[in-house]
Amino acid sequence: MQLKLSRRSTLRLLSASAVASSGLLAGCDSTPAVIKIGVAQPLSGNLAALGQDLLNGVNLAAEEINKEGYKVKGKTVTFEIVAVDDKANAETGKAVAQQLVDAGVVAVIGHLNSGVSIAAAPIYAGRNIAQLAISTNPKFTQLGLDTTFRLVANDTLQAKAIGSYSASQISGTRYALQDDSTTYGKELAEGAEVQLKLAKKEIVLKQSFDDKTVDFDAFAAKLKAENVQVLVTTVSDFQVVALIEALKKLDYTGITILGADTAKTPDMLKGGGGMKGLFVTSPILEAREFTAGAAFLDKYRAKFKKDPAYAGHYTYDAMHVLAAAIRRAESSKAADITAMLKKLDGYAPVTGSMKWDDKGEQRYGVIGVYSGKGGLWESQMRSDSW
């Protein structure tokens, strides 16, 4: 039996066939229209300003990339940022890490705190999701996971910087050590102690607190009683400010304070005056130290109506490097992105470049030393070896 079709019927069938073919071709392209990137940072509590700054950097970059008409394999793709609050707490960090995994993110920029990054890392690794962290504790990249990537230098180098700078640039022989009992703070203080002893510095007082303590009257009295000349501290900015207030009440201000990177903030500059000296070591270089920093600062201020609080330019760069990795891999699959990051020397618009070794350590990491003067962190020196 021969079936005859009218011209109209033939056109209908051809149209249907074209639609079906189009659907099949679309099915071959697994790239989704929306790619989700997770951001896990402390967005509440004492470290909220730092966490929000890190989120701001990602949001600014994603907005720019989306406006440019970002494409993967010729298909226009939009980045969606899924932000969660880890509350600077390891257990909360694990819970929100699972939330991000369940939400379908393909990479995560998080966390700030080393203890939180370390706790959450196996959850991301279970789904081959790259974790780009600002955390500095060496143990983060010693977990044996393929998915850990550090955005800056680690605390092994920071401890060396503390010892080296103390020995060569700070006058004083009687030292004290203070930490906040976190994975980051305690182990950085321990590393600093090793370096200070190598530099022949006398440590006359050591004390640990929790990461929320702000009553330092008793500790300030001990510093005075021991005639401490230099305090090396790894507590956060708000805690250093509280300690300085306690020292002022005792009229014991002829002391030099050398803090670490979580003290290198605008709030620390506002409340850190009155001491003989205020210094910090940090893997977070100021945005204005980079050639492209001024342009970034202009964009950041226009968007958020304030200056960066910490390391928003690093997470801004991390988002751009992630976008480059996805485009280079021609895939939005987490495992493909992780594999590409392992071999990528990614262009970072502000800091210049990001590249990782086989453990996920940043190859271009440096530690800078800064002095708090005139409302700015003034660079004293920096090195990638110390």
Over range 27-38, report the average pLDDT: 82
Q: What is the CATH number of the domain that holds 189?
A: 3.40.50.2300
**Are 254 and 374 contained in the same domain?**
yes
* pLDDT tens digits, 269-323: 999 889 999 999 999 999 999 999 999 999 999 999 999 999 999 999 999 999 9
**Are 83 and 197 contained in the same domain?**
no
**Are 297 and 148 contained in the same domain?**
yes
User: Under 8 Å CB-to-CB from 214, ≥6 apart: which residues?
Assistant: 238, 239, 242
> Is position 8 within any domain?
no
Locate 256 and state its tokens: 């030099």
* Of 26 and 129, more confident: 129
> Is position 204 within any domain?
yes
**Are 168 and 222 contained in the same domain?**
yes
pLDDT band at 4 (very low <50, low <70, confident <90, very high): very low
Instruction: State yes or no: pLDDT of 5 exceeds 50.
Output: no
Beta bridge partners of 257: 231, 278
User: Under 8 Å CB-to-CB from 117, ≥6 apart: which residues?
Assistant: 93, 110, 111, 131, 133, 135, 137, 140
Q: How many domains does the chain have?
A: 2
Q: Which amino acid is at 287?
A: A
Termini Cα distance of the chain: 89
* pLDDT tens digits, 204-220: 999 999 999 999 999 99
Residue 336's φ and ψ, nearest 5 degrees, are -70, -40
* pLDDT tens digits, 347-370: 999 999 999 999 999 999 999 999
Give 292's DSSP letter. T
Give the range of the structural domain holding residue 346, as residue numbers without chain letter: 34-153+288-355
pTM, two decimals, is 0.90
> Is position 28 within any domain?
no
Paired sense of beta strands 376-383 and 130-133, if any = unpaired
**Are 93 and 216 contained in the same domain?**
no
> Is position 7 within any domain?
no
What pLDDT score does 208 carry?
98
> Is position 11 within any domain?
no
**Are 254 and 342 contained in the same domain?**
no
As a whole number of angstroms, the distance between CA 62 and CA 66 comes to 6
Q: Which amino acid is at 118?
A: I
Over range 105-130, report the average pLDDT: 98
